[in-house]
Amino acid sequence: MWFSQQIPPASSEKPYFTLTKHVVGLTEDDLQLLSGKLTFTVQKSNNSSFTDPETVKTYTP
């Protein structure tokens, strides 16, 4: 367990968070058409305003 207001130490085995998106109103056909077009991009920046992000990895499920 981690009881802190600080971000936990980095780990190559487990991400800091899990992102979940719930979408309603799509038919099964809509879902099949869109599922191949999803892309998730992980970026990092060296400043708090995120003005010059660097892509770390791109995931396509």
What is the percentage of the chain residues whose pLDDT exceeds 70?
70
7, 16 contact by CB (below 8 A): yes
Return d(Cα 42, Cα 26) in angstroms, integer: 26
pLDDT of the residue at 38:
79
The set of residues, in sequence order, having a beta carbon less than 8 Å from that of 50 and lying 6+ positions away, is 43
Mean pLDDT of 34-46: 83
pLDDT of the residue at 52:
85
pLDDT of the residue at 55:
92
Return d(Cα 17, Cα 32) in angstroms, integer: 27
Please state, rounded to an integer, the average pLDDT across all residues of the chain. 77
Q: Check whether 15 has a pLDDT greater than 70.
A: no
